[in-house]
Amino acid sequence: MNDIRVGIDIGGTFTDVVLIDGGSVHVAKVLTTPGDPAEGALNGFRKILDSAGIQARDVEVVIHATTLVANALIERSGARVGLIATAGFTDTLELAREKRFDLYDLFLEIPSPLVPPDRCKGINERTDADGNIISRTDVEEVLSAAAELRARGVESVAINFLHAPVNPANEEAAEAALRERHPDIWISRSSGISPETGEYERCSTVAANAYVQPLVDRYMKKLSGGMREIGFGGRLSIMLSTGGFTTLESVRRAPIRIVESGPAGGALAAARVAQSCGKDRAIGFDMGGTTAKICLIREGEPETANSLEVSRTSRFQKGSGLPILVPSVDLVEIGAGGGSIAHVNRMGLAQVGPASAGSNPGPACYCLGGTEPTVTDANLLLGYLNPEYFLGGEMRLSVQEAEKALEGLARELALSIEDAAWGVHELVTEHMASAARVHIAEKGADPRRFSLIATGGAGPAHACHMARKLHVRQVVFPPSVGVASAIGLLMARPRSDAVRAYVSDVKEIDWKRTCRLFEEMEAQALNEILASGEKGEGWERTITADMRYRGQSDTVAVTLPHEAGCLSGERLPGEEADTEKLFEDAYLLKFGRKMEGVPIEVAAWRLTLLGPRVENIPTQLFRAEEKETCSKGTRRMFDGARREFVEGVVYDRYALPEGDIFSGPAVIEERESTIVMPGDAVFVKDESGNIQATLEG
């Protein structure tokens, strides 16, 4: 496996590109172009080809991750969408769950629906909960509704009929009629995007898919066309929210599946690092220019979930965002990054983020037009960044502009500029630690038993301080830590997920019906994977059941053995008892208790197909460079442990010898990021190039 592979990860501030050619690794980092993200990706692709001395035609695979979908949902910059629903259920998005996510917040902000009531049309059709069609779709009524929506400027239509996951026939009839009459509009069908129970959640998912589909479709066309013009003729694959990748065509049909595309790469990289260090429990922490992401890693794999929320109106509160029913790496993402803007809020208190300077105009110290104080400006004034060695010297930072930006904030808070800078650093770190505490607590975990894996351009400057707040003692910084998300893309495997709704008590499961569902799912999954050109041995198949106690709405995902009756179509001896036992064990692990005497039921069945593992990623991305000394001198830096400025040693990461023990306060510089070691830290570079730090305080 000596294919030349390229990973492209578009972030809010920088676009990271990594090229691996056998044992050679090349890295490029360019500013993101928010007005046209494809242009930034193409700029990075050209730059990496030039630095590696490789022609575009020689690249076999490009795996791409983007925050385009998430940003469109957060910024509400998607398409004008119309909803066609079952008559009497056009207010599903507006009613949502009919409850407040915080009972005692008098200023509660409810997320507004992506489709307003005047663009929701009801159709006379009905399918019952068992899948029996009571009333077939009135095609003329569908076309009339579509014509009215088109007159209102709608360019994308979502279809969401009652009980469509059990029998999609009525939705399929509506879709066929629309495609024949209006071939120029985008159409999303709920039973094709998310065939699951949960009327509001399913409607929210298909509406979100319709909302971002025109944007993603245009973007993918421009990106793939631009790469062909450069000379690339290989396979362009797109990173899914699950940490696997799929085909361009699949993403154009269901772009909502890449809503967490970018963060998934960082989670994969952190998981691989945890494996290499022998850490079975880790916290993945990825902080870039705009956002920070936190996920749990157990037994070498990032935790996943079958649903998520995006665009939360309240920082960490569950229920304050838009529910999306797609498999995803289970993480929390917050507006905290190097470009996060510091300001004084209406309460007269300092606040950092969620607004970001991004790449345009960028932090003040970039000298690209930004004037507001950001986290990067504060870190520069704290002595953590070298103004002459940012991006390996490609970009020079201005201390004067950073001071000018922080001066106004310091005046408002009656602080010195240096105290204001530390306040910004402290606030954004506490913000991230608070999000991590909530996420870890929801998973029933104790952070003191975990290690922290830090990645991202900004993450290494905050990781040790954040770890101290979480009472985590060990922090790991992988090689080329600033572009770890892009490296994570090259560790991904082709993946396809399928789900079918079938609600039944465990003791009453129709295994033949279940077998037919799995045959459908396997055909769907194979169609996606085979289209990607990934063939051969090494494929893995995982089957799970979403299970619950009768009367509950939330489910627990239970992995079933491959020899289960759901694959053979026949009930095996003890099948129901084994399935119940697996559920009870999973429920006990998650909630700490079981419910005796309550019947257990299955709500949905899932199938995941995974391609072969990628084994040709170099374990040591950058070999140690032979130099007389690894020290680059000293620099005045703020030590958070002592709460004062001290003289810290500056180390060249590439020249650090393996196995030697060093201590803080120190700064470790590499081309794409800077690691800050407090005075109570001792650290060592291991044989894989990871820097492992232990906090003694």
Residue 528 binned pLDDT confidence (cut-offs 50, 70, 90): confident
CA 611 to chain centre: 20
CB 526 within 8 A of CB 609: yes
What are the tens digits of pLDDT across the range 542-554? Answer: 889 999 999 888 8
pLDDT in tens, 450-459: 999 999 888 9
Distance CA 287, CA 303 (A): 18
Q: Report d(CA 284, CA 269) in Å as an integer.
A: 9
Q: What is the CATH number of domain 493-610?
A: 3.30.1490
CA distances from 377 to 287, 644, 647 (A): 16, 18, 20
Q: Report pLDDT for 574.
A: 45
Whole-number pLDDT of residue 11? 81
How distant, in Å, are the alpha carbons of 324, 361, 522, 608 from that of 205?
A: 5, 33, 23, 20
Spatial separation of the C-alpha atoms in residues 656 and 425, rounded to whole Å: 27
Is residue 404 within 8 A of residue 364, CB to CB? The reply is yes
pLDDT confidence of residue 430: 93
Predicted pLDDT of residue 136: 94
Q: Which amino acid is at 633?
A: G
Flag whether pLDDT at 533 surpasses 60.
no
Q: What pLDDT is stored for residue 697 in this prediction?
A: 66
Pairwise CA distance, residues 27 & 480, whole Å: 9
Q: Are 271 and 302 contacting, i.e. CB atoms less than 8 angstroms apart?
A: yes
What mean pLDDT is predicted for residues 675-686? 92
143 vs 531 pLDDT, higher one: 143
Alpha carbon distance 219, 165 (integer Å): 30
Least confident range from 44-48, 132-136, 274-278, 681-685: namely 274-278
Domain boundaries, the chain: 4-73+217-258, 77-212, 493-610, 631-695
Check if the beta carbon of residue 228 is closer than 8 Å to that of residue 240.
Answer: no
Query: Once rounded to an integer, what is the mean pLDDT over residues 442-463?
Result: 90
- Nearest partner of 472 among 453, 455, 448, judged by Cα: 448
Class of domain 4-73+217-258: alpha beta
Q: What is the pTM of this model?
A: 0.86
The three state secondary structure string of 337-358 is CCCEEEEECCCCCEEEEEEECC
Cα–Cα distance list, 567 to 2, 520, 537 (Å) = 36, 12, 20
- Chain-wide mean pLDDT for the chain? 87
Residue 487, H or E segment: helix 484-489
Residue 63 neighbours by CB under 8 Å, 6+ apart: 5, 6, 7, 8, 237, 238, 239, 245, 489, 490, 492
Q: Is the pLDDT of residue 561 over 80?
A: no
Q: Given a cut of 60, is residue 212 above it in pLDDT?
A: yes
> pLDDT per residue over 582-640, tens digit each?
999 889 888 888 898 899 999 999 999 888 777 656 545 555 455 667 888 999 999 87
Tell me, what's the pLDDT at 1? 41
pLDDT digits (tens, 9 = 90+) for 214-266: 999 999 999 999 999 999 988 899 999 998 888 888 899 999 999 988 888 88
Q: Are strands 281-287 and 292-298 parallel, antiparallel or unpaired?
A: antiparallel
For residue 109, pLDDT over 90 is answered with no
Band (pLDDT 50/70/90 cuts) for residue 115 is very high
For residue 55, pLDDT over 50 is answered with yes
Alpha-helical segments (H) within 231-319: 248-253, 261-276
- Would you give the DSSP letter of residue 230? H
Tokens of 634: 């000293």
